[in-house]
Amino acid sequence: MSTIGKNQKIDVAILWFKRDLRVWDHSPLIAAAAEGPVLPVFIVEPEFWSLTDASARHWAFVSECLRDLQNALAKLGQPLLIRQGEAVTVLRSLAKSYKISALFSHEETGNSWTYARDQKVRAWCRDQGIIWHEVAQHGVQRRLVSRNGWARAWDRQMAKALGAPPNLTPVTVSEFGSIPTEKELSLSPDPCPERQRGGRELACDTLHSFLTERGENYRSDMSNPLKGATSCSRISPYLAWGCLSMREVFHATNERRHTLKTDAIKGGWTGALSSFTGRLHWHCHFIQKLEDEPSLEFENLHKSYNILRPRTLDKTRLTAWSTGETGLPFVDACMRSLIATGWLNFRMRAMLMAVASYHLWLDWRVTGEHLARSFTDYEPGIHWPQVQMQSGTTGINTIRIYNPVKQGYDQDAAGTFTRRWLPELADVEDKFLQEPWKCEAARKILGTRYPLPIIDHLSAAKEAREQIWAVRNGSDFKTKAKVIADKHGSRGAGIRMRGQRPKKPQDDRQLGFSFDGK
């Protein structure tokens, strides 16, 4: 065992775990171990957890992932250090006990706060003469010059062999630290009784069950809020926090396709896995947008929309939307489901954002933060481009104003999903479930147990459409949109939405939030 002498420091490489809570296929861990003793560290940053896009349900999930990671690292020979505080302060403290030979981590495309923090860490490393080795986490490319060939580069990255976890040389540590509770981090209460649990073992089980059992009807069920909860992959939180690597998922999917072909098993699997593979590309495609344009978190991608919505929020509308009390049954059912489970399928995520931005005419920055806190699988690089897409501010995507009543009838025809989350409407007939204001029996309910609609959804949509198109018909709108498309467009090369045949290059259509709103 390596020991620390009284007047001597041993050389160690610091492995900084961020959103990559695993030991399998972890390139920085493998590279660090090749240099000698490794000190694996996770830094709990209170300032990060106080941000408006962070929540207690996120930390609860991360805590479970960390416990799995602790066990995995201990089996490799070196347990995980948990340190709390500002990143540079923590590294500076470790440098008092160890001679840090290098810092290793995955690259992170996070929010503006994590970017600023990384800049501080980079400056500290430079001042200390410490090389910080950052390795690509997914298929996202730093300092990308052009999107041309991006999909082919993604394929090459994913085709690389998976890396097995290395054995680690034990390093003497006086105190490994403990995982703080939500209360110790001063996080607001955030009950989420049906939240997915974190950890590597559950991540692998979830992927396996999707590829072998649950996923056959993926293509047909993904838009249904009830069926989608089972038929969708549900691996999104495990990708967001790195319990699984994208490469692992890609390899497992290809192996399953090969098995199905060898065993001559068809059914719905061929189309399902083709669609799923397309989604794997889209996952990184959207993160690349934020990597290339960090201001997406705060500013309209197309600046012509800066004059569109008021920055002063209608708090009554915001509260009704965020608590599932708009009086539009399907919207409220989706929001309440999200609050209770931390997950929602892609179409319903898109609808919630569209209703907030178009029908309620709310600023996407604040409503986007509410959804970020609510999604257990919150991935900033996917979330903010999607928020803007569903709010109509990218300038390069089709304007899609969902009719929330029609969506209810189309996606929840039997009313099972709506009734589960809106027990107040138990006495309303099926044919009026999505429009209870048309039902005589609902008169005793509306305005008391369940609210009347806070807006007329048809007139609100009409007004929103007129305002959006007034901007789009501006004199220089198309010129600015072309610049955006050149920088962020998919190029249509190898990236498919649902496994369909490639079409000519165009906009990104209407994908839903996050990798696994699928």
User: 84-143, pLDDT tens digit by residue?
Assistant: 999 999 999 999 999 999 999 999 999 999 999 999 999 999 999 999 999 999 999 999
Task: Say which amino acid occupies 264.
Answer: A
3-state secondary structure of 441: helix
What is the strand order of the sheet 81-84 is part of?
Answer: 81-84, 38-44, 11-17, 99-106, 131-135
Tokens of 151: 């999909």
**Position 357 confidence tier, pLDDT thresholds 50, 70, 90:** very high
Give percent of the chain with pLDDT exceeding 70. Answer: 93
Q: What sign for the dihedral angle of Cα 460, 226, 240, 340? A: positive
pLDDT of residue 6: 53
Give the separation between CA 324 and CA 334, rounded to whole angstroms: 8
DSSP 253: H
Give the separation between CA 235 and CA 202, rounded to whole angstroms: 9
Give the separation between CA 284 and CA 156, rounded to whole angstroms: 14
pLDDT of residue 406: 97
Give the separation between CA 332 and CA 338, rounded to whole angstroms: 10
335 phi-psi bin (left φ>0, alpha ψ -120 to 50, beta other): alpha
Tokens of 69: 């990671």
- Cβ atoms of residues 57 and 342 within 8 Å: yes
pLDDT at 505 exceeding the cut of 60: no
Q: What sign for the dihedral angle of Cα 104, 105, 107, 111? A: negative
Task: Say which amino acid occupies 219.
Answer: R
Give the separation between CA 36 and CA 39, rounded to whole angstroms: 10
pLDDT tens per residue across span 323-342: 999 999 999 999 999 999 99
pLDDT of residue 491: 58
Spatial CA neighbour of 404 closest among 453, 438, 341: 453
DSSP 446: B
- Cβ atoms of residues 269 and 213 within 8 Å: no
**Position 407 confidence tier, pLDDT thresholds 50, 70, 90:** very high
DSSP 149: T
Alpha helices in 293-426 (DSSP H): 315-323, 329-341, 346-354, 364-374, 380-391, 404-411, 416-421
pLDDT at 207 exceeding the cut of 50: yes
pLDDT at 261 exceeding the cut of 90: no
Give the separation between CA 350 and CA 407, rounded to whole angstroms: 11
End-to-end CA distance of the chain: 47
The pTM (predicted TM-score) of the whole model is 0.92
- Return the minimum-mean-pLDDT range out of 149-158, 161-170, 260-269: 260-269
Give the separation between CA 512 and CA 518, rounded to whole angstroms: 8
Task: Say which amino acid occupies 297.
Answer: E
CA dihedral 16, 19, 25, 31 (to 10 degrees): -20
pLDDT of residue 494: 43
Rounded to 5°, the CA angle 27-82-103 comes to 40
- The single residue listed with the structure tokens 């390139």 is 27
Give the separation between CA 257 and CA 252, rounded to whole angstroms: 9
Cα–Cα separations (whole angstroms), residue 86 to 16, 42, 91, 92, 122: 13, 12, 9, 10, 14
